[in-house]
Amino acid sequence: MSSREPSHQSAQRPSGESTASPAESPADRLASGLSPAHTPSALQVERERFRRRQTIRSVLVAAISTGVLGVLAYVALTGAPGWDRVRESFLDPQVARDSLPTILSGLWLNIRLLLACAAGALLLGLVIAFLRTLRGPVFFPVRALSTSYTYAFRGVPLIIVIYLMALGVPGLRLQGTPGVVVLGAAAIVLTYSAYLAEVFRAGIESVHPSQRAAARSLGLSYRQTMRFVVLPQAVRRVSPPLLNDLVAMQKDVGLISLAGPIDAVRAAEISVGTTYNFTPYVVAGALFVALAIPLVAVTDWVTLRAARRQSAEGSA
């Protein structure tokens, strides 16, 4: 009887249970780096099939609804009485092909300005946020000055700052005054650093004071606490709004054309003046959209990742 019991127990073992030998248990397999054998149940397989069917159905419904909406919009647009005139003025293929090379050449200036202004605004905004978070009465003048800076440049329109920097500073006739491109970029940096400073400050103040207290109790100085404890957490928490501001900056670098440099917008304006057709503006707008798509995609990915991390931390 005892010799038949092992075979009877083996026959009664559930299908989902591992068939590993007693000498190699699932815990032993995990310890050795191997995953334990797992056979999904029939209910789990059915759930996966249902989810796949729901996903396919959702994609089909979304595609059909998008197609129907697009057809309706096209019919409404092309059926307007003045559509032919608008198409000739804004969607001329020949004018678009002729103006594309010069607009692309100007777009390269916008890209370089975006990279330089983004780096400068992030650095200056972080410094201003750090100054605004200094504690103690001795730092009151610094806090007041940084607060006034953020209030002023968040309130003044960017176009006015560009005019003041690109047209007013050269009027002083100071020796070594940079060109209008540098002055226009400085106007963008000054304006956006005020916005980014508030974003950084919100991230710094969102870190619980116990984090600073724990770091100081371990012997870290104030600078080390900010560098190794506070700032990494703050930057990670405010990454989505920071990227959103950079996406907005990608559009506003086109305002540099008001100062005179030939960027994409200025090149389109010159083409409009020579062809008496507004298609170059549409070409410039399409190029700015193409430039913004990667930034928007990265922003959405970072936002989704941050939401998942917060959800996981909340469930834990």
pLDDT at 21: 46
Domain contains 16: no
The 8-class DSSP code of residue 12 comes to T
**Both 178 and 277 in a single domain?**
yes
pLDDT of the residue at 37: 58
pLDDT in tens, 181-217: 999 999 999 999 999 999 999 999 989 889 888 998 9
Please indicate, yes or no, whether residues 63 and 120 belong to a single structural domain of this protein. Answer: no
The answer for residues whose C-beta is within 8 angstroms of residue 202's C-beta and 6 or more apart is 238
What number of helices (H) and strands (E) belong to the chain? Answer: 15, 0
The answer to whether 114 and 250 have CB atoms below 8 angstroms apart is yes
CATH of residue 211: 1.10.3720.10
Residues 75 and 202 in one domain: no
CB 302 within 8 A of CB 243: yes
pLDDT for position 3: 45
Domain span at residue 300?
98-306
In a domain, 30, yes or no: no
Cα–Cα distances in Å, from 140 out to 137, 147, 271, 301?
Answer: 5, 10, 53, 39
Same domain, residue pair 62 and 171: no
171 found inside a domain = yes
Residue where a domain terminates, one of 51, 79, 107? 79
Alpha helices of 19-92 — where are they, by DSSP H? Answer: 26-31, 42-78, 83-90
How many other C-beta atoms are found inside a 10 Å radius of the C-beta of residue 100? 17
Residue ranges for the chain with pLDDT beneath 70: 1-38, 313-316
Both 47 and 125 in one domain: the answer is no
Which of 33, 52, 79 terminates a domain? The answer is: 79
Task: Output the pLDDT for position 17.
Answer: 44
Q: d(Cα 238, Cα 38) in Å, to the nearest integer?
A: 41
pLDDT given for residue 39 in this prediction: 79
269 and 201 assigned to the same domain: yes
- Pair 152, 272 in one domain: yes
Contact 188, 117 (CB under 8 A): yes
pLDDT attached to residue 42: 83
Whether residues 292 and 189 share a domain: the answer is: yes
CA–CA separation, 254 and 284 (whole Å): 10
Determine contact, residues 103/262, Cβ cutoff 8 Å. no
Could you read off the pLDDT of 73-118 as tens digits, one per residue? 999 988 889 898 989 999 999 999 999 999 999 999 999 999 999 9
Residues 6+ apart with CB under 8 A from 234: 200, 203, 204, 206, 207
pTM given for the model: 0.76
Question: Is residue 63 located within the same domain as residue 106?
Answer: no
Asked if residue 104 and residue 210 are part of one domain, the reply reads: yes
Confirm if 121 and 158 have CB atoms less than 8 A apart.
no
Q: Flag whether 114 is in a domain.
A: yes
Q: How many domains does the chain have?
A: 2
pLDDT of residue 182: 94
Distances 222 to 117, 128, 211 between C-alpha atoms, Å? 29, 17, 12
Residue 6 lies in a domain: no
Residues 202 and 75 in one domain: no
